[in-house]
Structure 1
Amino acid sequence: MIGRVVTGLALAAASAGAAPLSKAPDPETRAWWALASELSSDAMAGRDTGSAGYDRAAELVAKHFAAAGLRPAGTDGSWLQSVPMHEMAIASARITVAGKPLRFLHDFTVQPGPSMPTRLSAPLVYAGYCAATTLGAATGKIVICHGVNRDGLPSGADRTAAAKAAGAAGIITISDPGFTVEPPRWPFAYARATWLAGSPPPSDTMLRMTLNADALATLIAGSGQDAQALVAAGSAGKPLPRFDVRGALSADFTLRERDLRSPNVLGMLPGTDPALANQAIVLSAHLDGYGPGEAVRGDGMYNGTLDDAAYVALLIQLAKARQGRGFRRPILFAAFTGEEKGLLGSRWFVQNPTVAKSGIAANINLDQLRPIFPLELLTVHALDDTSLGDDARAVAASMGIAVQHDPEPARNLLRRADQWPFLQAGIPATAFVFGYRPGTPSERTYRQWYRTGYHRPQDDPRQFIDWKAARDFNCFFFSLVERVADQAPAPSWKPGSTLRPAAR
């Protein structure tokens, strides 16, 4: 069955071009998109972790897993693995500088934590890049730092450490508009911190704020400095001054805390080869989204269609294609919760697997996929670290798709999705991003989506999809799974991998 489905996808991909949503794709892709649309409809309310909308989506995924002939692989014979979490949110915030208000989530956001001050009034000092060697004393002050991401300049951790060492009461990081590979997006949906129950919560006693660069002029009014010139110089990595700001920043926050639980959805397709029964391949995508948040262009529902409902739907499509007929190796289908809150569902699963961890041979994760331009080049995470990279190369080559390493390592995408906890645990894992050639229309489309679609309400079922690209990737994924699950050698680490932990 899988071969016929893959062949159908490939033939459709060869004959169809990019199309708006009004043009009906082939039946397999239409079924995939219908399910993606259902999972990310307003009825699911954005599937925020711990919400009723997420629970409805989880029930729907479990229903489809059952109909496809999978076996429950959650806790106590169920489809679900409950993940305990604790959440802290800023319910309301009032910030003024010299009496002038700043708009919460539009001009600034705040990282909440149990030890953060809820009321504060302190003077401000602009300190450039906030390098430890140049910051100087800042006792009781709030330091303003340009948040660059450049070699040779302080990192976020460096800036925070320098501010703490200087005695600062808080740190305001200017969100760098010059970081064009992933430009800042305002407004933020909300300000929350969520962590696994029983793990250490954020412990900062400093106020930690992120500032929209457009609001810097309000922050430093009366200083005689040109805010636009400072932002431009900071984005370019040029020297920046240090100066005191007239007037104090006053802040008043209301916090809300709650315990919550949200389930991973897990289904098993047993293998057919008893000798490979302890070499399960975990196929994963994250079910959670942002949910309701600050409105953008009049829409406050963050549906998360491509991030990541569409690829939970693709897991379901693969399970349906098999209809209970196994590959040689077992396949564990995993729709993880809490990815948007810090990979919480995948971390919990890796720490508390519902199958023996020694029996997990690999993870293939689906996230960060945007079929909005032709699939001619595919970024493969951990390409040269495990044999999964060789498998991806072979399948891609058979389809005329080139592969590459991550061309934008500064974005740290490898560590920002659910493959990362598996790699940390010593389990070979990989994931993919649609690639582009610099200066092409594909790059322009990619950049535009990250400005207007990523973590935005506009990532919904009405957006443009390149149907041929979607089918091409779906075909690639089906073929890759078949290859990894059926070939004789088990997935393995490559000698010299810098990602492999010292000991498993």
Structure 2
Amino acid sequence: MPPAALLASLLLQAAPVDADTRSWWATTTILSSDTMEGRDVGSAGHERAARLVAARLAKAGVQPKGDAGGWFQSVPMEDMTIARATIGVGGRPLRFLHDLYAAPGQVPAAIDAPLAYRGYCRPGEIGDVRGRIVICHGSRRTDMPSPADRIAALRKAGAEGLITIADPGFTVEPPRWPFAYSRAVRLRGSPVVPASLPQMTLRADALATVLAGSGRDAAALIAAGSAGRPLPAFDLTTRFTAQFAMTHRSLSASNVIGILPGTNPALADQAIVLTAHLDGYGRGTPVDGDGLYNGTLDDAAYVALLVRLAERRGGKGFRRPVLFAIVTGEEKGLLGTHWFLKHPTIPLSRMAANINLDQLRPIFPLELMTVHALDATTLGDDARAVAESMGIAVQADPEPERNLLRRSDHWPFLQAGVPATSFVFGYRPGSDSERIYRRWYVTGYHTPKDDPKQTIDWKAAADFNRFFYALVERVADQDAAPAWKPDGKARLGL
């Protein structure tokens, strides 16, 4: 037995898990094992995972539908990385990715400028900041300036750059440190849009280093900013210095595309597209000595669920065709899906719907489920009917400020006019489920802790998998194709 499969067996043997869930988790464990290297775009591990998925789909009776009649669709990309950085304030060092983050293309190769602190950086409180790097508290409150507002105001005031304090008061999705790396990946040939103002992000705990010797109480400023209380404005005598060394390379990564043909010729032009993203973060900044970001729940588990669906069908089609699109580059900006929709292997007009699997965390009971675009298309009605038949309540996104609707692969389908949906495990405010969820977003999301050894609620996992199987069957077999509701696109801002 391969080591990854052995690990899966050991993890499951003491749990009351049904055979289907065991099979799903065994595949999950293999896809997110160390041998897959975290499945970063451009890595050998990613392509190994792609070949494994294609082989499993082929064995299950799915037919290839990638480029030139094969399984794969090559997605060409350009990668720009800040490989090294040296940063200091008044001679005191700041650790890149731990204390301060900057993205490639958002900073010049070198910075040397005095600092100013301007609270929330409202236009009326900025004053004279010409030639200065301005520190702003990045509050996510609705009554505070947005990131675009801050940048516009600072440009108008002649600032040299912006350092945004990542707001620890944004508890619905707290800032996570360290960053795995600093990379900007785009589709090859797409334009590079330079930042209108150099921008960086500061860890709240690092403000004390920045303000050392100024007589200012960094902890008090962070507490006030997180609570939305008034903040002062002041200039600093120290200078901010930074040097960034950047690298560039071309790379490619594979979408895996296959189709399970439908059984009703009259519905042949109404394919249901199932998506999950194969890529992860790969190798990055170590956390507790571990530098491999396995990406077990994000999103190996739900690539594995698509594989498991195909295996359960054993080549037997639904009434409508089902297109399996295991996409790449989601973590770099939904790149694989954008490429697929620009270069579809079946006409876009033949895509009746998209059901996307991502953002799923089976780590507490599944009693409530957020359904993206719940009231925009009839897919929401289908999801509600299946969920409620299982005793699962559904809700629209209760935290739109997190922008989850636009952060996964269903969004480009919605933009292209295809009814689409995706799901999040929901929780009641103040419940143990919320506590577990919030903690995972601090300790597990996009960190090496998202690996096969983490704690799973096996019943919740099995419940969602059964929900998904039933939803696909309902949508692919019912008489009416999914459709937009009259005000659906307006509800989503499309």
TM tier, shorter chain? over 0.9
1:279 is matched with 270
Matched, 1:235 2:226: yes
**What letter is aligned with 1:38?**
I
Runs of 4+ in 1 over 6 A off after TM superposition: 500-503
1: CA distance, partners of 2:464 / 2:391 = 12
8 Å CA contact retained: 2:36, 2:46: yes
Q: Secondary structure at the match of 1:263?
A: strand
1: CA distance, partners of 2:490 / 2:298 = 25
2: CA distance, partners of 1:482 / 1:220 = 59
Q: Encode CA deviations 1:229-251: one digit per residue, 9 max, x unaligned.
A: 11111111111111111210010
Residues 123 and 22 (structure 1), Cα distance of their counterparts in 2 relative to 1, 3 Å cut? farther
Question: 1:105 aligned to 77, 97, 109, which one?
Answer: 97
2: CA distance, partners of 1:273 / 1:134 = 65
1:94 is matched with 86
Matched, 1:195 2:186: yes
Question: 2:211 aligned to 220, 235, 243, which one?
Answer: 220
1:33 is matched with 25
Q: Note the C-alpha offset of 1:21.
A: 7.2
**What letter is aligned with 2:20?**
E
Q: Note the C-alpha offset of 1:50.
A: 1.1
2:370 is matched with 379
Question: 1:149 aligned to 120, 132, 140, which one?
Answer: 140
Question: 2:71 aligned to 79, 95, 100, which one?
Answer: 79
2:432 is matched with 441
Question: 1:364 aligned to 355, 360, 363, which one?
Answer: 355
Question: 1:315 aligned to 296, 299, 306, which one?
Answer: 306
**What letter is aligned with 1:307?**
D
After superposing the two structures, state which structure 1 stretch, 361-370 or 160-169, moved more. 160-169
Matched, 1:352 2:337: no
8 Å CA contact retained: 2:187, 2:335: yes
8 Å CA contact retained: 2:151, 2:197: no
2: CA distance, partners of 1:133 / 1:286 = 44
List aligned pairs for 1:439-478, cutoff 5 A: 439-478=430-469
2: CA distance, partners of 1:388 / 1:47 = 31
Question: 1:424 aligned to 400, 415, 427, which one?
Answer: 415
8 Å CA contact retained: 1:385, 1:493: yes
**What letter is aligned with 1:173?**
T
2: CA distance, partners of 1:290 / 1:160 = 29
**What letter is aligned with 1:63?**
A
1:65 is matched with 57
8 Å CA contact retained: 1:21, 1:462: no
**What letter is aligned with 1:100?**
R
8 Å CA contact retained: 1:20, 1:465: no
2: CA distance, partners of 1:117 / 1:24 = 55
Q: Note the C-alpha offset of 1:490.
A: 0.6
Matched, 1:326 2:353: no
2: CA distance, partners of 1:233 / 1:183 = 16
Q: Note the C-alpha offset of 1:206.
A: 3.2
2: CA distance, partners of 1:381 / 1:140 = 44
1: CA distance, partners of 2:221 / 2:347 = 54
1: CA distance, partners of 2:343 / 2:132 = 43
1: CA distance, partners of 2:152 / 2:33 = 43
Q: Which runs of 5+ in 1 are unaligned?
A: 1-18
2:6 is matched with none
1: CA distance, partners of 2:130 / 2:186 = 30
Q: Note the C-alpha offset of 1:375.
A: 0.5
Q: Note the C-alpha offset of 1:502.
A: 9.2
2: CA distance, partners of 1:268 / 1:253 = 45
Matched, 1:160 2:135: no
8 Å CA contact retained: 1:21, 1:463: no
Q: Note the C-alpha offset of 1:205.
A: 5.5
8 Å CA contact retained: 1:20, 1:466: no
1:12 is matched with none
1:138 is matched with 129
Q: Encode CA deviations 1:298-319: one digit per residue, 9 max, x unaligned.
A: 1111000000000000000001
1: CA distance, partners of 2:493 / 2:213 = 54
Q: Secondary structure at the match of 1:46?
A: helix
Residues 50 and 24 (structure 1), Cα distance of their counterparts in 2 relative to 1, 3 Å cut? farther
Question: 2:379 aligned to 374, 388, 392, which one?
Answer: 388
2: CA distance, partners of 1:24 / 1:306 = 20
Q: Secondary structure at the match of 1:133?
A: helix
Q: Secondary structure at the match of 2:54?
A: helix
**What letter is aligned with 2:382?**
D
Residues 499 and 459 (structure 1), Cα distance of their counterparts in 2 relative to 1, 3 Å cut? farther
Q: Note the C-alpha offset of 1:498.
A: 4.1
**What letter is aligned with 1:265?**
V
Q: Encode CA deviations 1:182-218: one digit per residue, 9 max, x unaligned.
A: 0111111001111111212231163211100000011
1:9 is matched with none
Root-mean-square deviation (Å):
1.5
1:3 is matched with none
1:8 is matched with none
Q: Note the C-alpha offset of 1:27.
A: 1.1
Residues 466 and 499 (structure 1), Cα distance of their counterparts in 2 relative to 1, 3 Å cut? farther
Question: 1:288 aligned to 268, 272, 279, which one?
Answer: 279
Number of residue pairs the alignment of both structures matches: 484
**What letter is aligned with 1:268?**
I
Q: Note the C-alpha offset of 1:347.
A: 1.1
Q: Note the C-alpha offset of 1:500.
A: 7.0
1: CA distance, partners of 2:493 / 2:110 = 45
Q: Encode CA deviations 1:482-503: one digit per residue, 9 max, x unaligned.
A: 0000001110001112457899
Q: Secondary structure at the match of 1:215?
A: helix
Q: Which runs of 5+ in 2 are unaligned?
A: 1-10
- TM-score for both structures, normalised by structure 1: 0.94
2: CA distance, partners of 1:163 / 1:259 = 34
**What letter is aligned with 1:134?**
E
8 Å CA contact retained: 2:373, 2:492: no
